Chain A
Amino acid sequence: MHPAFSVIFFTTTSGAGYGLLALLGIFGAAGIIPSERWFGLTGLAVALGFIGVGLLSSTFHLGHPERAWRALTQWRSSWLAREGVLAVLTFIPAGLLAIGWVFFETTSGFWGVMGIIAAILAWLTVVATSMIYRSLVTIFQWANFWTLPGYLMLSIMTGALMLGAIVMIFDHGNRVIQGTVILSIAVAWVLKYVYWQYIATHKSLATPSSAIAVDGAKITPLDPPHNSANYLMKEMGYVVARKHAEKLRAISHITLFALPLVLSVGVYFTSGPVAIIAAVVAMLSSWLGVAVERWLFFAEAKHTVTLYYGAQSV
């Protein structure tokens, strides 16, 4: 699949935003982080800012952004609509949480419940996003078990790294948060590793032979329907060279997981400016990493339609 900038940007920023929002809601309700106004304002502003910018960018690739509201109507069948509805709904408890936190400096009681609801909706939104991909049986690399947990865990992880950096800046660092960061990286790393293993060893049942309903040992295109590339080929025909993909995976392993993990462990055992810098660098590194990961998620996805254009498997 063509790795479109807007979709990569949308899923990674809103993912991180939802991850952060959810942690703020839960840790706030649980009293693990302080209900201090400026900290809350910053954390929620970052979270909702990421979510908002992400959502906004997702409308850029629409042919008719002015009709975007229509995308909320078909929630009963469409994961994209569900995502939209959940995204909108999330703003309600998130907004209430912000009111409590910023105006009343409290994250417990009713406001705490709002935090928990916001967290659940945030996670559900991410789940809905992942389900958009997971439900596309046309793309085997997406339509598998590992897509959902991968998305969710990367959202939590990038959100946690952001939270980790913010708490360090506000000098609210604590073991639970730092532990959460480390744990989320570890789990996300494992999930992503398994995902990559999975797509390397499994492929779709669809074959060139089933695509054209003709049995044969090998089926190769002779003439395409049209000489110049069309929408399908531009949108779905993206092929990433194996070497290139391997390199990018390595970059992903390092910037998304290894480096943040090492730095986060460092943060766990240190404090002061060093720890702040380490937490911020870990966060920044994960941003680069997740962009590369998401690029690969698209670029390595092989649509069944490519079977008509020369792919021997998808």
Chain B
Amino acid sequence: MTVEQTPGFKFRDAHAEEDNVDLSPSLGDEVKYTTCYMCACRCGIRVYLKDGKVRYIQGNNNHPINKGVLCGKGSSGIMQHYSPARLSKPLKRVGERGSGEFEEIEWEEALEIATSRLKKIRAEDPSKLAFFTGRDQSQATTGWWASMFGTPNYAAHGGFCSVNMAAAGLYTIGGAFWEFGEPDWGLTKYFMMFGMAEDHDSNPIKIGLGKLKKRGAKFISVNPIRTGYSAIADEWVGIRPGTDGLFIMALMHELLKAGKVDQQYLVRYTNAPWLVIQDQGADDHGMFARDENGDPLVWSTKDEALKPSTDITTTPALKGEYKLADGRTAVPSFQIMAERYLDEKYAPAAVAETCGLKADDIKRIAAELAHVAFEEEIVLDIKWVDWAGRKQDRMIGRPVSFHAMRGISAHSNGFHTCRAIHLLQMLLGSVEVPGGFRIKAPFPKPIPPTNKPTGKVDHIKPGTHLPGMALGFPTEPADLLLKEDGSAVRIDKAYTWEHPLASHGLMHMVIHNAWKGDPYKIDTLLLFMANMSWNSSMNTSKVIEMLTDKDENGEYKIPNIIYSDAYYSEMVAYADLILPDTTYLERFDCISLLDRPISSPHSAADAIRYPIVEPDRDVRGFQGVLLDIGARLGLPGLVNDDGSPKYPGGYPDYIANHERQPGVGLLAGWRLEDEDGDHMDCRGPANPDQLEKYLENQSFWHHEFLPEHTYYKMANRGYLEWAHELGCVVTKTQIVFHMYSEILQSFKLAGEGHGAHQPPEKDRERIKTYFDPLPIWYQPLEETMTDLDEYPLHALTQRPMHMYHSWGSQNAWLRQITNMNYLYINRETAAKQGIVDEDWVWVISPYNRIKVQVKLMDGVNPNTVWTWNAIGKRSGAWNLDKDAPESKKGFLLNHVISELLPPRGDGYRYSNSDPITGQAAWFDLRVKIEKASPDEAGETFPQFKATKKPPHMPKKPKILRYGAEFKTHKKGGKK
């Protein structure tokens, strides 16, 4: 039976007349423009205010990042801003750590407590302060503050997040995946995405995928799980976790075997033709042969001679063996690379089983890549001039592109895997070309960026600032930060032989190391915006123990914890002093080019946040508080000669007036003309009215490059000149991509016993094995130390698109979408264990066990189980009811992950991290599943005692009628 239209009666629209809908209600009195901070994507927003309340938040159509769209989180900003979990006043701990017992104190007292303690530390040993920030978007400020304080113990979340992507990219192409680059969405014809559920470029990626779909470009998602982006891919490659490196090398194998390689590109833009010294056992074996100026050499076939690589008249060879002046031989690095990947061990048939793929599919994808790159090349009629001044009359594009994120990075082999993807891109000639992968300004930078880590022993002195920023990019063993006895300078052991290129630090090791006093004890842990007692730690239950553990004198092993959060997160209960922050609509912020930029490949951009509404609580923006404490401490750069604060206007004053180098401040827009009256784009004296200008321009600044400067940026004169002016690059000469990494080789040589700086015996094998000038694949470290028959399954997490880590759960709208999480298992895998939908199971790793509820699905690699990240909450936190599903049915996988690897033969336990960068290896986890008994069903394990709530948390309604007050009625309409 079907419905039928009611016949017969003449229609009169009386009901509509009676309803009298107000078709043009006003959205309120004010519209303000600022920047979203429901996540790190930093979209532009337009906020409509009505009677002082937020009526509606819309995407800013003019904003370069989001072009008017908002994601699920950004659209729920109202509920974030009015969250009942907001902290309202500084808090001093009165009960035991973890109890949640606090007393409210005044700001003056809070600042005094913090200052007096920090003063003492700085006077004795600044490294006793460890300052780590989580989802920080003001690293340019917090990092600078740390170095002014004089502690090397500073980092943000990059170490546990995606430093593998950043480092592999910056050491290879001077830019990176993550949010440092993007596929050429407008032109690419073939796009491969590796291990991404969401990424920081939340909206740009969705906008981009929408564009691909519209144009019919082929989109492949390589991911063990078929959800979200993978759901709309033309082809889903359900790879086994941790094996992408092999898959990529097999693609290279196929391309090399068929000669489908962009040789011209390799010769022009990469170090493929550079000659590598072949002298086994020598100090410089595997290093580039150089001339007296230090220029690498190539063999010019035309001249039949060695020539400097910078000589643009040569015809460099990609293969062959050549005699150097000293009689030794050298070969182009390309040949070494080709020899390696042409080996049959990288043939599709050889890797297919390990990767869980079909050899034919690998072969086909290689053929498709070659087809699109070389048969469907695109040519843009844009004239441009290269670094050497040569005029080019068009731009050739190989329209294949790649993007990758934590599915690659969060493995202990992620650095090499990521480099492998970059190599594949180079073979196809598709970096920074039309249709390829493009790097966002101010990248590409020199490879690697020129700042080295600071914090050598003589850099750290009482009462003294560091000579540079703590984090940087080592290029040789001498750059490591080691004490005389070889022990680590930094609390997280970054830049030691354990993880030499740890350019984002290892935030995941801080609590463990501080608790253990290894390498030393600290006094104060200052944390900002990081939920370290919960979802951002590995081994959460143990971390909670470490935070509350006391020494023989009854003192906490980590003596003092100061924390700034805006909300009542799980971490709050573990701090001794809480500095409550504002929400994103209440404060100034600065999204700087010196930080992780919001630029695009064709433009540079930065932005601000400013208070749209006044806080209704006694809270202060953290950056302002930090500057205030800094001034009280008398830190250089924060006080005038007379000791008075240099930025009495607080953070906005600092944003506008602070200069990092002459003419370079936090914001690039609307700087003043210099003395000569020259106005440069992003450089110039500070402008006291700068923030006004930003406000006039909807809170962002945007500099669009000319079309001729937007591609080939690593070798494009016009672009390089701009970048040079801004200080992003040191010279205007070409940035040559490191297909072959001499830097890695220099560490390997040290491992092999060469040079003045050599690893201790305990690390020697590790350095020799993992530092390789060309990408290698090895089984993830944890897997090599785990009984794989006993623990047959990989366990992963994915970010839900509508939740940001732990923050989302306080949001009345978002938590309706997801307030508990399941463990997803492949239907067939589950069937083998007699597990059915919604069963309760134990998930057991070698370290710990959790109890969870399962959901079966088809679209997941059969060896893999997974769950949504950070949905599980501690009872009592976030001002949720004690029995909220987040705590009773939600869970964290983190409890079964370990921050340490199992002990190796000699008992030593390394961090569970990538051996090169220190990237936390979240996704190396192996588990087994056991069915729970019927009486164990119903609640997840572990459960924690509910924390008490601090005084005066905002009230939470039983029924929420937000918006009722905005309802309008048309005049004459019935109310």
Contact = CB atoms under 8 A, between A and B. Distances in A.
A225 B72 CA distance: 13
A302 to B, nearest CB: 15
Interface in A223-238: 223, 225-228
A227 B885 contact: yes
Interface string B801-821: 000000000000000111110
Interface string B1-14: 11100100100000
Nearest to A142: B1
B943 interface: no
Nearest to B815: A227
B885 A222 contact: no
Contacts, number: 27
B227 interface: yes
Nearest to A143: B1
B6 A137 contact: no
Interface in A70-91: 76-77
B857 interface: yes
- Secondary structure at chain A's binding surface: helix, strand, loop or mixed? loop
Interface string B858-889: 01000000000000000000000000010000
B817 A225 contact: yes
A77 B6 contact: yes
Contacts of A135: 3
Contacts of A143: 1
A144 B9 CA distance: 26
- Category for how many chain B residues contact A: 10 to 19
A227 B884 CA distance: 12
Given A76-B9, A222-B857, A228 B816 contact: yes
B5 to A, nearest CB: 10
B1 A222 contact: no
A227 B818 CA distance: 6
Nearest to B819: A227
B817 A137 contact: no
B878 to A, nearest CB: 16
Contact of B817 (A76, A77, A222, A227): A227
A67 to B, nearest CB: 13
A222 B826 CA distance: 12
Contacts of A76: 6, 9
A170 to B, nearest CB: 45
Interface in B868-923: 885
A225 B818 CA distance: 8
B405 to A, nearest CB: 21
A297 B6 CA distance: 27
Nearest to A204: B1
B861 to A, nearest CB: 15
Interface string A180-207: 0000000000000000000000000000
A228 B817 CA distance: 8
B9 A226 contact: no
Interface string A118-151: 0000000000000000010100000110000000
Contact of A228 (B9, B819, B857): B819
Contact of A226 (B817, B855, B859): B817
Contacts of A225: 817
Interface string B594-611: 000000000000000000
A135 B885 CA distance: 39
A222 B3 contact: no
A143 B885 CA distance: 38
Given A77-B6, A222-B857, A228-B885, A144 B1 contact: yes
A125 B6 CA distance: 20
Given A76-B9, A227-B885, A228-B885, A137 B1 contact: yes
A137 B819 contact: no
Contacts of B885: 227-228
B816 A227 contact: yes
Contacts of A144: 1
Contacts of B820: 227
B227 A222 contact: yes
Nearest to B6: A77
Nearest to B817: A226
Interface centre among A77, A143, A144, A222 (most CB of B within 10 A): A222
Nearest to A134: B1
A185 B3 CA distance: 33
Interface string A227-251: 1100000000000000000000000
Nearest to B890: A227
A77 B855 CA distance: 45
Q: Specify which of B1, B2, B885 lies most central, judged by the most chain A CB atoms within 10 Å of its CB.
A: B1
A137 B3 CA distance: 7
Interface string B265-298: 0000000000000000000000000000000000
Interface string B349-360: 000000000000
A226 B6 contact: no
B397 to A, nearest CB: 35
Interface string B242-282: 00000000000000000000000000000000000000000
Interface in B517-566: none
A102 to B, nearest CB: 41
A135 B5 CA distance: 12
Interface string B838-859: 0000000000000000010101
Nearest to A230: B816
Nearest to A310: B837
B2 A137 contact: yes
Contacts of B817: 225-227
A236 to B, nearest CB: 17
Interface in A36-80: 76-77
Contacts of A77: 6, 9
A270 B815 CA distance: 67
Nearest to B857: A222
A118 B178 CA distance: 78
A228 B885 CA distance: 9
A227 B819 CA distance: 6
A223 B798 CA distance: 14
Nearest to A78: B6
Nearest to A74: B15
A132 to B, nearest CB: 14
A144 B859 CA distance: 39
A115 B468 CA distance: 102
B236 to A, nearest CB: 14
B963 to A, nearest CB: 19
Nearest to A225: B817
Contacts of A137: 1-3
A223 B9 CA distance: 44
A222 B857 CA distance: 7
A146 to B, nearest CB: 12
A198 to B, nearest CB: 13
A88 B261 CA distance: 86
A77 B12 CA distance: 13
A244 to B, nearest CB: 19
Interface string B669-713: 000000000000000000000000000000000000000000000
A227 B821 CA distance: 9
A180 B2 CA distance: 36
Given A76-B6, A76-B9, A77-B6, A226 B1 contact: no
Contacts of A223: 818
A228 B9 CA distance: 43
A219 to B, nearest CB: 11
Interface of A: 76-77, 135, 137, 143-144, 222-223, 225-228
19 contacts: A76-B6, A76-B9, A135-B3, A137-B2, A137-B3, A143-B1, A222-B227, A222-B855, A222-B859, A223-B818, A225-B817, A226-B816, A226-B817, A227-B816, A227-B817, A227-B819, A227-B885, A228-B816, A228-B885
Q: Which 8 A-B pairs have the closest CB atoms?
A: A143-B1, A77-B6, A227-B819, A226-B816, A137-B1, A227-B820, A137-B3, A226-B817
Given A225-B817, A227-B885, 10 more contacts: A76-B6, A76-B9, A77-B6, A144-B1, A226-B817, A227-B816, A227-B817, A227-B819, A227-B820, A228-B816
